[in-house]
Structure 1
Amino acid sequence: MATLFDSYEQQYAVLTADITAQIGRFNIATTDEKRHYINDIEKHVDEAKELLEQMELEVREVDSTQRQRYRTRLDCYRSELKRLCQEFANSRSSTFNTGYDSLDEYADVRLTEDQKRRLLDNSERIERTGNNLSNSYRVLLETEQVGSQVLQDLSSQRETIQRSRQRLRDTDEELGRSSRVMNSMIIRSIQQRFVVYAVAVVFVGAITLGLYLSFTRK
């Protein structure tokens, strides 16, 4: 959810940067150009409102422990949009005194050069903020890709270790069987030696007895 909210934030930053820049250009445009800027600005404001509604839906799904933090950010974005709408209302000429749904009324006030300069400064600042958000989002995506690759590598290494462990178990079992076979062979060899020794003793005893009986008879 946080990733989706961050995506909406990025889109919102781009929209508000465009609105601020267009308001600055609106103040120095010709009458025909102002008509074009009014349509564009109103369209961008409507898109920004839709993004704020999407953000509101996402905030409702956030865990209660983090919901307040996201709601505070959302309130800041709403205040920013309201401020931009008020600046737009103040910058409109009486020639285009058209109602706007998001405001109670527009005041046809001509901006001073200082106000225009502040608007342009704000536009540049918001554009820089939008660029920073874009860069942060790009870094986030790159970090996510690196993390995914690391997880894949770890999974592959885990499988390799498991296969090595299985081979060690198999080798252990083979060594155990070989050891048992060797022990069995050694035991049989010792038994056979005892049998040979016993036969030899009996054989020698028989010969000795035969010789003794032979000498006794003589």
Structure 2
Amino acid sequence: MATLVQSYEQQYSVLTADITAKIGRLKSGHEENRDQLSREIQANFEEANDLLEQLELESRGAGAVSRLAAYRAELQRVREEYRSVLNSSATYNIDNDEAFDDWGSSDQRTKLLDNTERLERTGKNLTEGYRVILETEQIGAAVLQDLNAQRETIQRSRGRLRETDEQLNRSSRLMSSMIARSLQDRLILVLVLFFLGVLLCVGLYFYVT
């Protein structure tokens, strides 16, 4: 299952990078078939959603939930960027040749550089986010291990306390039995001494008389 999850994550990373690149091409305004490009981007969004759903089904644990949340947030950010490009492109006619003639080669190069830098920043953000998620998952696993070890220690301590309590109860019963036997022996000794005293008194009485 871990291999399948990693495959979904790699496909998602490649897909979001492709979406970002297409948004950059759409933003530059040099694409002849912008409608086709928009349809491709929308199809990519649907594919990304399907990948996240499959990833959610295959993933288990706190670390996986954190990664899914980060992926969904990143996809939402890219979707908002796409909507922003669509809204901004609606303010001018993309088929106007004069607009393309007004763009110099310097402007085109600048826009291409901006798109490249944006792609690089997106890739770095994804890499950094994935690294943070992995670190968080490792910390969570370590905390769970510590809690499990502490739980086992507490259980062993409880077991020793129960054994100690049982031993104390046995010792208490033994002491009570010894005390009762000692009192019984003393009572018998007193009765014997009393009986001997009575016999001695009777003997002296008969001796004197």
TM-score by length of 2: 0.64
Partners of 1:162 and 1:6 in 2: how far apart? Answer: 39
Unaligned runs of 5+ in 1: 24-40, 87-104
Alignment equivalent of 2:182, drawn from 189, 193, 200? 193
1:64-89, Cα deviation, whole Å (9 max, x unpaired):
xx9x9775433124467889xx4xxx
Partners of 1:82 and 1:10 in 2: how far apart? Answer: 24
Superposition CA RMSD, Å: 4.2
1:37-65, Cα deviation, whole Å (9 max, x unpaired):
xxxx779x967742333225767999xxx
CA deviation after TM superposition for structure 1 residue 216, in Å: 0.7
Partners of 1:141 and 1:149 in 2: how far apart? Answer: 12
Alignment equivalent of 2:144, drawn from 152, 155, 158? 155
1:157-187, Cα deviation, whole Å (9 max, x unpaired):
2221221121122112101101110110110
Structure having the higher Rg: 1
User: Contact 1:10–1:134 at 8 Å: present in 2 too?
Assistant: yes
1:113-147, Cα deviation, whole Å (9 max, x unpaired):
x6211111111111111111000000111112112
CA deviation after TM superposition for structure 1 residue 151, in Å: 2.2
> Match of 2:197?
208
Alignment equivalent of 2:43, drawn from 43, 53, 63? 53
User: Contact 2:23–2:85 at 8 Å: present in 1 too?
Assistant: no
Partners of 2:148 and 2:123 in 1: how far apart? Answer: 38
In structure 2, do the counterparts of structure 1 residues 170 and 59 end up closer, same or farther at CA, with 3 Å as the change threshold? closer
> Match of 1:126?
115
CA deviation after TM superposition for structure 1 residue 17, in Å: 5.3
Does 2:153 align with 1:146? no
Alignment equivalent of 2:19, drawn from 8, 12, 17? 12
Identity of aligned residues (%): 8
Does 2:167 align with 1:178? yes
CA deviation after TM superposition for structure 1 residue 111, in Å: 3.9
Partners of 1:70 and 1:16 in 2: how far apart? Answer: 9
SS in 2 for 1:150: helix
In structure 2, do the counterparts of structure 1 residues 72 and 135 end up closer, same or farther at CA, with 3 Å as the change threshold? closer
Partner AA of 1:200 in structure 2: L
Partner AA of 1:172 in structure 2: L
Partners of 1:164 and 1:108 in 2: how far apart? Answer: 78
Partners of 2:189 and 2:180 in 1: how far apart? Answer: 14
- Shifted more, 116-125 versus 149-158: the winner is 149-158
User: Contact 2:15–2:48 at 8 Å: present in 1 too?
Assistant: no
Partner AA of 1:75 in structure 2: R
Q: How many residues align?
A: 174
In structure 2, do the counterparts of structure 1 residues 119 and 78 end up closer, same or farther at CA, with 3 Å as the change threshold? same
User: Contact 1:17–1:126 at 8 Å: present in 2 too?
Assistant: yes
